[in-house]
A = this chain, B = another copy of it.
Amino acid sequence: VADGSRPRETYHHGQLGPALVEAGLVLSRTSGARAIVLREATRMAGVTPRAAYRHFPSREALVDAVAAAALARMADVIQRHIDAVDPTAGGAAGRSVDVLRAVGRGYLEFALSEPGWFDVAFFVREDLAQATAGDAAGAAGRTPLQQLQDALDAMVATGQLAAKDRPGADLFCWSAVHGFAVLATRGPLRTLPTQERDRVADLVVELAVSGVAGQSS
């Protein structure tokens, strides 16, 4: 634990808020949001339970902050996939579809490799606002939902998606990858062998893309 288990030298911690969020990430990594227990987080930060209330009004507020941090990490994974799209292959049109695929694959890679964080990320007491809130954005300044929307907008720009089909396309793509992620991480598909699971994950992305841009690609 970074600044955690050893006793502090100073009475004041200095960065307790962020330290608690960090502890929340550690706690939730293996078993999700329910594993975030306030007392344990303060223990990891080397501080009394009561001290947490100086920074968060309640446990729920802490969980929300951890959720935002998890979303930001997810955004970074997705961005890595976007950046890896071959800029020389195909025309701009083909590339815009590749980017959509990259978003889907990044989403699933994150969810399947970090199921605990995926769980917190969407263990949410708020609404769509949170999915586009600043503190849920990755290093590139975009949240996962925004990355998806950017990709679809680009497809409209390159003619890969009719403008009239744009509304709702984001929610459809999101539903497809999110559904598989949930079924495969805590649902009945949890026991699929990894290899088959990853194969199906790719297929889900493929079919979602073809549902949205079926005619043209």
Residue ranges of A at the interface with B (Cβ–Cβ < 8 Å): 122, 124, 126-128, 130-131, 168-169, 171-172, 174-183, 187-192, 199-200, 203-204, 207-208, 210-212, 214-215
Contacts and interface: CB of A to CB of B under 8 A. Distances in A.
A191 B128 CA distance: 8
Contact of A179 (B128, B179, B189, B214): B179
Given A128-B191, A188-B131, A175 B168 contact: no
Contact of A122 (B174, B176, B187, B199): B187
A207 B172 contact: yes
Contact of A175 (B183, B192, B210): B183
A16 to B, nearest CB: 28
Given A168-B200, A211-B211, A179 B174 contact: yes
Contacts of A128: 188-189, 191-192
Given A127-B190, A188-B127, A191-B128, A175 B171 contact: no
A207 B211 contact: yes
A163 to B, nearest CB: 15
B175 A179 contact: yes
Contacts of A126: 188
Nearest first, the 9 closest Cβ-Cβ pairs linking A and B are: A179-B179, A211-B211, A175-B179, A127-B191, A175-B180, A214-B214, A178-B179, A207-B211, A176-B176
A95 to B, nearest CB: 21
A211 B211 CA distance: 4
Residue picked from A172, A181, A190, A203, most chain B C-beta under 10 Å = A172
A174 B208 CA distance: 12
Given A179-B179, A188-B122, A172 B127 contact: no
